[in-house]
A and B are shown apart, each in its own frame.
Chain A
């Protein structure tokens, strides 16, 4: 940077503008050194990943040598301090999977909906305001989320869990039912002769609406009767993890929707599509891989989260019965590692210590696989659009 003024100075003093051989060599060396330093910095972060993998692998393998593979993956008896100890982690894997699935159910529809709204429906000025606000969610420390889950959400689920579930059913069910009824009445009434179309349409809307209301009211009443004995359960954690994964899903899928070119949208409009058709048939499919990557990144956020699940999942190493029962406490891989680390002897190097590394290895493998899939999806997306 400082060379340019020196050159001007040199020119002003009447020297040649051509660099001397010595300066040339110096510059060559400097650029070589610069490249070297940058390369070292880049490779050091890659090396750090390799080192982490190596050290986890080094401490995880003794566990499988000591205890074999079968117990770890197939048994649900997790008693690491009993005599003799048991290290069955199936229930813990199921717990991780369950809260992650719950988080996806919360984050994906909300996230993609918000992304579509941001990229195609809200005016540009509003988007400039709304997107940063959503991204603030990502800046809230996870312990704050955990504290909220433990101190606010858990007692609320215990006291008014049934009501909350019933209200939730109405909030989700009513708009979906309205949309379905609207589309169905449109399709069905189109078959009627023009004279009776309006009456027929009203009858269909009334009939279907009545059925939907009856169904929803029944579901809500059934949910309302549910009593949740303990608020620190898989549902609580799923809701919070979904909220935490939301900014990732919104941000990445909004970028994907934005990168679908203007010409595709204009082409669709020119062919006479409505805005809904353009969105559903053209824009979202074109951004599909990017949205897929967004979902996977959200999944990774949920799988790897520790503090919230440690505080609010109940940490009971059991497979809920039935397995989809989100109202029972579960235990996840991350929470187990965090909770057991304190007493696991690295001095003596027991199986109880190495089992945590075996879990860490599984987590690393899962997130590596997710990362690879999302990279693949993004690469495919960018290739397709070009």
Chain B
């Protein structure tokens, strides 16, 4: 049963130097035709399932004008939302207004994810962001004023010339916001980004590791639980939507370049605006055999710090997780830990987890 939806809004008023998501400069006529096309796609593909998590990401969804957002929420009314549906929208500080916040509230949005990325003016400039930390504080206060409790802030670290001290300051600033969810990403200079074109450099790998250790230590000590490789939350504030990915559950992805997982298939939507308007939504289909499904279940499930629940795994796939691949051997090598209920990656190896996960792909 599919009970999650991702919607991609590929517009931004400003392009960040590190971003290689599908996005375009905000353009009024484009937004209008895009929203029409989005509505078409949803009508065509959505099968009236009850939706328990809904996530509007981008791009910058908050860069849409108020009336465009109204149109978007109109479209979303097509979904049968569960009463406790987790409904997230991504925003950036500069485009978030009191009117938009009110509109979110009216339309049952109950989780906000804000791209803060850095609190240091120098690095905000490097990342191509146009806000400052003062604005972040004001917008978080405004959200709280409208009873938004479930807020996430994103942090990007490991920037060229960044020091441990710089990072410590960033973390302290984020902690001062008193929000229940923090995501942290080590900067990866991807192709087709401004940073890549400008030949930006990665920081020293040793320093990167020091930074990772500092983040886990600080956030853990402030009551944030490290529940997924890049994600930390106060109790009960884990992102339910993201857990759908890690639990290998089904989800629809609507919009440009959105990914879907439906029974036995993983789909990737086109990233061509023209094709999308032409209703040629799907670009790639990955047909999944039984062992592909198990492979995904493992490489995604082990991203969770608590790992994979053995009983849930058996109930879902009718196979004993211990019998798969070389899991027993990895337990013997102490790379995986076998607890009474779960199998998880040894905490000191989370940082280099790919070395474990490659056991579960290929032949």
Do these two chains interact?
no
B interface vs A, CB < 8 Å? none
Interface residues of A (CB under 8 A from B): none
